Structure 1
Amino acid sequence: MGDLLDSLAVWMPRQRWYGTKGRDPQLTVVADWTLDAPDTRLLLVRDDAAAPAILYQVPVVVRAEGSVPPGSLIGAAGDARVWADATTDAAFTDLLYAWVCAGGTVGAPEDALTAFALSAAADRRPAARATARVLSGEQSNTSLIFRPDGGAGVPVICKLFRQVNPGINPDVELQSALAARGAAFVPAAIGEVRGSWVTPEGVPVSGSLAFAQEFFEGVEDAWRVALDAAAAGVDFAARAQALGASVAGMHVALAEAFPTRVPDAADRHAVVGAWERRLSIALSEVPALQPYAQRIRDVYASAATAEWPPLQRVHGDLHLGQVLDTPRNGWVLLDFEGEPLRPIAERLQPDVAVRDVAGMLRSFDYVSGAVADDDGAAVRTWVIAAQQAFLRGYAETVGPGRRGDDALLAAFELDKAVYEAIYETRNRPDWVGIPLAAIGRLAPLG
């Protein structure tokens, strides 16, 4: 095991899902399951280089030298054999597919892998057999697309959570609950895998390891659909209104499926405090924000004393890229994990639904910066019409008393723009004008 950990310490920092860049890994194995497949194991590896420590899921196989894809090679295992990432190995992916489609258990109850098949409508069930392919471009997780090997059955996408936390992952919890209620605006839930293990401190815990759902073949996300419509000058109001209705339907369903509560002073203080902390960072990194500082704080102060709707479970990281345009279901919402950088404990708590609405408004606004068009005024008009239609669709569906005060929406939208100003300054300076223009509209001077 020592040689494998040494190899993982070199291999893991090169993976996109590894979260502690720039530090030498300090790895220990927390769980080690031998699977019912040749030379295949599933590891939970703790990295104490981060504070708090991060727990990673790493399925591995031992194979002959020269038989694994270069990117999957972890290191030497002796006797002309090597350790490799199992997500590209058919023995592991076939087993994973069987788990999420039919269930199964590995190990003892206190140290077990348990898979659950989730019921889906007859026309949305998986095939008996399928071939796996790793989805390219994934960052925080590894997703596998399973396409049927002939016969009936829908394609399946299975997300393997690379960073593992105790408790059920919100992506599993929320999507499963919505799918079980028959919601057409989420994919059919196929199955999940959970693990039980004992922490180095001796505490027994369990957490989500994988989640499988229906995969929509050959569709585009709402970001690409919106970009194409804006570039062509195609009216998008009806589509945006339908998207607003889908987001509202999600919020209504989540409020019915999970507990809600009236926000108290501590809740308001926590949200406003987060706004202030983000603004302080932005003012130090984005000098162009300095003239707007007081106006931004005025918007925050107005929201702090406004009427707030009950807190409820929300998507938490909603934008056009998290929505698919499907011919059968219309708009379909994905990826309910919430903001990956927020602690998991925060992402599991009831929140202000307006956060999701603000995220969508900001996403529409980015269309104006991404579309190459000589007539910026025309694109801006397109964006405003799409945003207004989205809000109409949301308000008509969510009903009176749920949306919250307009001052609260303005503050969340402004906070998102402040975050974007920080991000663009650090990563894409040519794009910083998009959030700065939004801040100028949301917190105008004079």
Structure 2
Amino acid sequence: MGDLLDLLAVWMPRQRWYGTKGRDPLLTVVADWALDGDARVLLVRDEAVHPAIVYQVPVVERAEGTVPPGSLIGASADGQVWADATTDPDFTDQLYTWVTAGGEVGTAQDGFIGFALATTGAAPVSRVTAKVLSGEQSNTSLIFRPDGEDAGVPVICKLFRQVNPGINPDVELQSALAAGGASFVPAAIGEVRGSWITPEGVPVSGSLAFAQEFFEGVEDAWRVALDAAAAGEDFAARARALGASVAGMHVALAAQFPTREPDEADRAAVVGAWERRLAIALAEVPALAPYAERIREVYARAARAPWPALQRVHGDLHLGQVLLTPSNGWVLLDFEGEPLRPIEERLLPDIAVRDVAGMLRSFDYVSGAVADDDGEAVRAWVIAAQQAFLDGYAETAGAVRADDDPLLAAFELDKAVYEAIYETRNRPDWIGIPLAAIGRLAPLD
């Protein structure tokens, strides 16, 4: 096992899902589950960061020269190599069985169980072809399509790479919404939950994988919006429908999960997060300095305003988390929340307007992503889309639309401050987008 851990310490930092780039991992084995065939599922703990992160790493031992490009982890012995098992049928066939029919590995204290949740109206087939979805970041997703002439529904299964005790909010929220009959989320197919013993000797359990309905040949809302803006197409009806879907999500989550009124500690935590983010931004983005006092005034006004009840929310909502489907209209995805936030925070009730602000900021980015000489026309398109989105949201939420909502302004502003930090660090040419938004949300006298 020592040799494999040494190989993983070199291989893992090169993967998109590895969360602490720039550091050498310090790995220990938390769990090692043998599967049928030559595949194994490892949980490895990276103690190079604090708190330590536990990663799920399925591996398989194969003859040298037989593994797909990009899957090689390193040499084993006697002409054998270790490979990432997410591209190997020995693992993917079993994963599909766990989420569509069920199955167990190991024991209740040190193993995992898969179980089916529902189907989309057509029974999952026994023969499928698996393909890893490209472009994944914090997780690895596999698409299972019927093999040959078999009729059945395609399934997408998300393998959680960072594993935490407790049910992942992506599983918890989306399964509850789907079970409640919501058409704005994919149907839930099945999941895998594991149990393991921590190095401190504490038994814990958590989500390992989640499978859901896969929509073939559809585009996300970001691409749909970009194309519409570039062509100058009216987007109001689609934006209004998207607002209705987001509001429907919030209404359903408030009905299915506990809500509570915010107390002073809740308010202090949110305002404190705004202020900490602003302090970082002022240190890294000099162009923000003139706006500092106006930003603080917006935050202070929101802190004094009435706050709605706290409830479960999406937590990381933007146009890239939404699909436009011919059967269901707008479909919302990825309820995992911001991957960098601790899992404990992502499971807590929050303010629904956070999701609304995230979507408004996402629309605003269309103006910077569309190459058009007529900047005013694109800006007008963005404003019209944002207003239609807010109209659709208010109508479905059963609320009167407020054009001067202090909380919405503060969350939009906080998101723009975050974007200013991100763009300064990663895409300096895009810094104008959040700076322009900050100028509108916290205008100078």
Q: TM-score scaled by structure 2?
A: 0.98
Q: Could you tell me whether the CA contact under 8 Å between 1:338 and 1:347 is conserved in 2?
A: yes
Q: Aligned partners of 1:319, 1:254: CA distance in 2, in Å? A: 18
Q: Aligned partners of 1:274, 1:407: CA distance in 2, in Å? A: 16
Q: Could you tell me whether the CA contact under 8 Å between 1:354 and 1:404 is conserved in 2?
A: no
Residue aligning to 1:34 = 34
Q: What stretches of structure 2 of length at least 5 have no aligned partner?
A: none
User: SS at the partner of 1:71?
Assistant: coil
TM-superposed CA distance for 1:404, in Å, is 11
For residues 306-345 of structure 1, the aligned pairs below 5 Å read 306-345=305-344
Residue aligning to 2:69 = 70
Amino acid of the structure 2 residue aligned with 1:387: Q
For residues 232-381 of structure 1, the aligned pairs below 5 Å read 232-381=231-380
Residue aligning to 1:172 = 171
Residue aligning to 1:416 = 415
User: SS at the partner of 1:280?
Assistant: helix
Q: 1:139-161: CA deviations, max 9, x gaps?
A: 11111011111322111111100
Residue aligning to 2:19 = 19
For residues 57-206 of structure 1, the aligned pairs below 5 Å read 57-123=56-122, 125-149=123-147, 150-206=149-205
Q: Could you tell me whether the CA contact under 8 Å between 1:194 and 1:207 is conserved in 2?
A: yes
TM-superposed CA distance for 1:72, in Å, is 1.1
Q: Could you tell me whether the CA contact under 8 Å between 2:315 and 2:355 is conserved in 1?
A: yes
Q: Aligned partners of 1:437, 1:288: CA distance in 2, in Å? A: 11
Q: Aligned partners of 1:83, 1:402: CA distance in 2, in Å? A: 57
Q: 1:36-89: CA deviations, max 9, x gaps?
A: 2x1111000001001111100001111111111231111222121111110010
Q: Could you tell me whether the CA contact under 8 Å between 1:306 and 1:405 is conserved in 2?
A: no
Q: Aligned partners of 2:30, 2:402: CA distance in 1, in Å? A: 44
User: SS at the partner of 1:16?
Assistant: coil
Residue aligning to 2:220 = 221
User: SS at the partner of 1:5?
Assistant: helix
Q: Could you tell me whether the CA contact under 8 Å between 1:254 and 1:312 is conserved in 2?
A: yes
RMSD: 1.3
Residue aligning to 1:426 = 425
TM-superposed CA distance for 1:14, in Å, is 1.2
> CA separation of 1:14/1:221 partners in 2, compared to 1, >3 Å: closer, same or farther?
same
> CA separation of 1:415/1:437 partners in 2, compared to 1, >3 Å: closer, same or farther?
same
Q: TM-score scaled by structure 1?
A: 0.98
Q: Aligned partners of 1:43, 1:404: CA distance in 2, in Å? A: 51
Q: Could you tell me whether the CA contact under 8 Å between 2:191 and 2:209 is conserved in 1?
A: yes
Q: Could you tell me whether the CA contact under 8 Å between 1:354 and 1:403 is conserved in 2?
A: no
Q: Aligned partners of 1:165, 1:5: CA distance in 2, in Å? A: 20
Q: Could you tell me whether the CA contact under 8 Å between 2:165 and 2:205 is conserved in 1?
A: yes
Q: What stretches of structure 1 of length at least 5 have no aligned partner?
A: none
Amino acid of the structure 2 residue aligned with 1:6: D
User: SS at the partner of 2:40?
Assistant: strand
Amino acid of the structure 2 residue aligned with 1:223: W
User: SS at the partner of 2:43?
Assistant: strand
User: SS at the partner of 1:250?
Assistant: helix
Identical counterparts, % of pairs: 83
Q: Aligned partners of 2:41, 2:230: CA distance in 1, in Å? A: 47
TM-superposed CA distance for 1:127, in Å, is 2.5
Q: 1:114-157: CA deviations, max 9, x gaps?
A: 1010113424x433321001111111111101111132211111
TM-superposed CA distance for 1:405, in Å, is 7.5
Q: Could you tell me whether the CA contact under 8 Å between 2:41 and 2:57 is conserved in 1?
A: yes
Report the number of matched residues.
Answer: 444
Alignment of 1:386 with 2:352, yes or no, is no
Residue aligning to 2:394 = 395
Q: 1:170-196: CA deviations, max 9, x gaps?
A: 111111000101110000101000110
